[in-house]
Amino acid sequence: MNKQELKGKWTQLRGRAKEKWGKLTENELDQIEGSVDRLVGKIQEIYGKTKKEVQEEVDTWLSEQEDEK
């Protein structure tokens, strides 16, 4: 799934993102608005991981979402 697809499907995927990264608030999910960069930045901020770690985690998660189509 690419960045455009995430933006278009964010409404459907935000619940799955909340399941995966439970510390994300509803307000933060609203602010992310389907932006991969914002998602990575927010997870990095909340969980204290490196950008590289989070980017790999998000990429894996996005691939899993494609598999569930």
pLDDT digits (tens, 9 = 90+) for 9-64: 998 899 999 999 999 999 999 999 999 999 999 999 999 999 999 999 999 999 99
pLDDT for 69 equals 58
Alpha carbon 14 to chain centroid, angstroms: 8
Q: What would the two tokens of residue 12 be?
A: 């459907």
CB 54 within 8 A of CB 44: yes
Place of tokens 């901020």: 45
pTM to 2 decimal places: 0.89
| Distance of alpha carbon 51 from alpha carbon 22, whole angstroms | 18
Task: Indicate if the alpha-carbon torsion angle 35, 37, 39, 45 is positive or negative.
Answer: negative
